[in-house]
Amino acid sequence: MTGDVGLFGPDSVTWKLHREPILMLGGLRSLYLQALHPRAVAGVAQNSGYRADPWGRLMRTSDYVGTVIYGTTDEVRQAASRLRRLHARMSATDPRTGERFRIDEPDLLRWVHVAEVESFLTTAVRAGVDLTPEEIDGYYTEQLRSAELVGLDPATVPATAAEVAAYFTAMRPELGLTRDGAEAAVFLTVPPIPGHWGGLPFRLGLTLGPARWAYFGIAGTALGLLPAWARKMYGGLGWPTTDMAAALSVRGLRALIAGVLATLPEQYRTAPLRRAAMERAGLT
């Protein structure tokens, strides 16, 4: 290696997994899952401007994740420090009890972390990314470093597939669909689409447009990839056929993305953060 490759590096499962563009769908899936935690979604609803700037918030979150995965040690440290300072200033009110709580309380941070990394991993595997059971556990263990960045004690965070499954089982009595959660899910499913995506008629609201239909299909796939118990909380079906349909859809999306990327010049096929990290690692 010729430079600082940050927390993980080219031999990690994390780098192997996050080179897959389909993980963008995993990020959407994680938001649906996170919204089933009443306090977590209340904290977002009461502190975030996601309704006014959903795409900007999505890009900022994506940049943070990309920095943690591919940034230098100093870039990761700075990004995590900014995030912790931001969370430390925030609080919210539990709509069920009226209790005031901090956004950075460990139970909430742990839920968001586990929902995110499990969604990335599940989406990749269902899309056909080949990972051994050892690599799956290795990814969860590597991601303890990400959990520590936001202020969690790694010893309190699930570190294997079995521990993640047990964690979800233990959490299910605390989960449910609140008004905030339902509104967040509707917003994720039918968000405002930038006008230039669909042309003037789309901007005027005269037609759904192809962009809206395409995104609606992507959101439906993300929902279909949720665990059966989570789909039921949203009023959906827990049937195995739903799992099969979602798996076929996400595999098709992965193939479609690969086909589109293959038509692009080399410099556009790899995300800038990953390309920079590969160069520091001495890779082409």
DSSP output for 24-65: HHHHHHHHHHHTTSHHHHHHHHHH--TTTSHHHHHHHHHHHH
Long-range CB contacts for residues 235-238, cutoff 8 Å, separation at least 24: 235/177
218 and 253 Cβ atoms separated by less than 8 Å: yes
Instruction: Please report which helix (H) or strand (E) contains residue 79, including its range.
Output: helix 73-88
Kindly state the average pLDDT of the residues 223-243. Answer: 88
Compute the chain's Rg from CA coordinates: 19
For residue 160 the two structure tokens come to 């294997």
The domain spans of the chain are 13-280
Kindly state the average pLDDT of the residues 255-264. Answer: 92
Kindly state the average pLDDT of the residues 60-88. Answer: 95
pTM, entire model: 0.90
Per-residue pLDDT tens digits for 142-177 = 999 999 999 999 999 999 999 999 999 999 999 999
pLDDT at 113 over 90: yes
CA distances from 108 to 83, 91, 153, 200 (A): 14, 12, 13, 42
pLDDT at 117 over 70: yes
Instruction: Please report which helix (H) or strand (E) contains residue 98, including its range.
Output: none
Sign of the torsion angle spanned by Cα atoms 165, 28, 249, 178? positive
Kindly state the average pLDDT of the residues 5-9. Answer: 95
- Mean pLDDT value across the chain: 89
> How many other CB atoms are there within 10 angstroms of residue 245's CB atom?
14
- Say how far apart CA 194 and CA 209 lie, in whole Å: 12
For residues 192-214, b (16+ Cβ closer than 10 Å) or e, as one string? ebeeeebeeebeeeeeebebbee
- Say how far apart CA 126 and CA 144 lie, in whole Å: 23
Question: What is the per-residue DSSP string for 238-249?
Answer: --HHHHHHHHHH
pLDDT at 239 over 90: no
Q: What is the predicted pLDDT for the residue at 2?
A: 61
More confident site: 18 or 53: 18
Kindly state the average pLDDT of the residues 87-92. Answer: 94
Kindly state the average pLDDT of the residues 186-191. Answer: 88
Per-residue pLDDT band for 16 (boundaries 50, 70, 90) equals: very high
